[in-house]
Structure 1
Amino acid sequence: MTERTILVVGGSAGIGLEIARDLIAGGDRVILTSRSAETAARVAADLGPAATGLAVDVSEPEQIVAALADVPAIDGLVLGAIERDANTIRDYSIERARRLITLKLIGYTEVIHALLDRLQPSNETGIVLFGGRAKDAPYPGSTTVSTINGGIEGLMNTLALELAPIRVNALHPGIVGDSPFWAGKPAAVLEGYQSRTPGGELATMTDIVDAVRFLLFNRGVSAHSLNVDRGWRIT
């Protein structure tokens, strides 16, 4: 048993939930968040006594300090809260763009700021920021998403410098074929993406969880952006 405590922001569903489940299986305690207190409590109860649920909405950064007030000292932080949005330049929505930019670039930063007194100042402590491959693999409507995920790299670099010896890394998933978002897509859609990877397979949630664990716990890795996409961009 490691007896580490890891906070997983966005850990109540999808890939975040798989991360929380894996950490608990490895002997860690997990604090997972959802925008809904009810959802956070229910998911934590399902995961067992090593999990605690907490309501935090990172798209409302002014509320983050109060929401995290009861978090104890932690040994690691995964910032995986995301939202998806198609926002083309021809039909640009300022409101939707502002929400996503606030959620990731301001919300992520404010979570770390709020927890500075509880993040152990050691290279044993890791922070993982979730970006995405849209930063350099854009698609129609990805203007905001691509911009934000590119910004995650800049955020990672400055935080890794300011917070050292705490390590800060970024994870950029490609299409995760068995994730809740993608698993329900028509087979033809997924096959089109699969055909563009060298091995003919899409990344899985297990791939993402393994990558998070590496970035979170490997003491020799900081200020590193890791793409997990089964080599999609080389074809």
Structure 2
Amino acid sequence: MTGPLHEQSVLVVGRAGGIAHAVAVAARDAGARVIAAGRHRQRLADLYAGEPDIAAEAVDLTDEGSITALASRLGSLDHVVSTASARARGRLGDLAGDAVRLSFDTKVIGPLLLAKHLSPRMRQDGSFTLFSGVAASKITVGTLAVAITNGAAEVLARSLALELAPLRVNAVSPGVIDTGAWDALGDQAKAQYFADIGARNPARRIGTPHDVANTVLFAMTSTFLTGATLPVDGGEPLT
């Protein structure tokens, strides 16, 4: 398949669905050979069973040995995208240390170790794309741990952009995206939350995984872009 990622290889780390799925399919449709990796390899294999040019792999971002093993199984790579997260929501008095550590391990330390072990296998015109989130730029009570994790991910992207140059490293910062993660609120509460956010942000709607995947493709293919955080949040921090 021809496209801006023709004959390139892309590793997408994340869940079997949502944004990770949208990114994997968009990269494949742009011509790439895609490796989708996550803690539950079988779920990924089942999800992509009917998809050409998308293979499933296992990796646990909280385990450096698992990351090292993944690196040893992979050949050369062009691009790495880490969408994984483990949110620790709640007010300060309700936050558990283990939950905050898991958030950092998944979204900051894990991607750092991916860069450590995978960058030597990457072509020098390739890229890393990390994930932040709107909580880093719009501070609200109840998202303290999410905000500081996202802020650290953005600093990591800038730091790696210098250390790994000319490999490019950027972060993508989604706002409220309808990935299914909000389904736990229940249909009525979810619909009300989405209506409130969509009425207030300048885009006047909720984001989709496709919106985020397009931004990731831009980060992978824009060869003069590095050390940046790209917001795809409908302008939510302005409100």
Q: TM-score, normalised by structure 2?
A: 0.91
- Say if 2:210 is the partner of 1:206: yes
- Say if 2:131 is the partner of 1:130: yes
Q: 1:110 aligns with which of 108, 113, 134?
A: 113
CA contact (8 A) 2:26 2:214 kept: no
The alignment's C-alpha RMSD in Å is 1.6
| CA distance, structure 2, for counterparts of residue 104 and residue 9 of structure 1 | 11
For 2:66, the equivalent position in structure 1 comes to 63
Q: Name the SS of the counterpart of 2:120 in structure 1.
A: coil
1:158-190 deviation digits (Å, cap 9, x = unpaired): 1000111111000000001x3212365532111
| CA distance, structure 2, for counterparts of residue 91 and residue 206 of structure 1 | 34
For 2:41, the equivalent position in structure 1 comes to 37
CA contact (8 A) 1:87 1:93 kept: no
1:14-37 deviation digits (Å, cap 9, x = unpaired): 110011011111221100012012
| CA distance, structure 1, for counterparts of residue 118 and residue 51 of structure 2 | 24
Q: Name the SS of the counterpart of 1:38 in structure 2.
A: helix
For 1:169, the equivalent position in structure 2 comes to 170
Q: Name the SS of the counterpart of 1:83 in structure 2.
A: coil
For 2:94, the equivalent position in structure 1 comes to 91
For 1:154, the equivalent position in structure 2 comes to 155
Q: Name the SS of the counterpart of 1:75 in structure 2.
A: strand
| CA distance, structure 2, for counterparts of residue 26 and residue 76 of structure 1 | 13
CA contact (8 A) 1:59 1:107 kept: yes
In structure 2, give the amino acid aligned to 1:151.
A
1:183-211 deviation digits (Å, cap 9, x = unpaired): 65532111111111123212222211110
For 1:12, the equivalent position in structure 2 comes to 16
| CA distance, structure 2, for counterparts of residue 112 and residue 217 of structure 1 | 19
Q: Name the SS of the counterpart of 2:56 in structure 1.
A: strand
For 1:121, the equivalent position in structure 2 comes to 124
Kindly state the Cα deviation for residue 11 of structure 1 after the two structures are TM-superposed.
5.4
CA contact (8 A) 1:156 1:168 kept: yes
Q: Name the SS of the counterpart of 1:32 in structure 2.
A: strand
| CA distance, structure 2, for counterparts of residue 169 and residue 96 of structure 1 | 26
CA contact (8 A) 1:173 1:229 kept: yes
In structure 1, give the amino acid aligned to 2:221.
F
Distance change in 2, residues 1:187/1:44 (3 Å): closer
Structure 1 segments unaligned to the other structure (5+ residues): none
Flag as ranges the 4+ runs of structure 1 deviating above 3 A.
182-185
In structure 1, give the amino acid aligned to 2:197.
Y
1:83-132 deviation digits (Å, cap 9, x = unpaired): 2231421122011111111111111110111112211112xx12110010
Q: Name the SS of the counterpart of 1:82 in structure 2.
A: coil
| CA distance, structure 2, for counterparts of residue 137 and residue 163 of structure 1 | 29
CA contact (8 A) 1:31 1:54 kept: yes
Structure 1 vs Structure 2: percent identity of aligned residues?
29
Q: Name the SS of the counterpart of 2:104 in structure 1.
A: helix
Q: Name the SS of the counterpart of 1:137 in structure 2.
A: coil
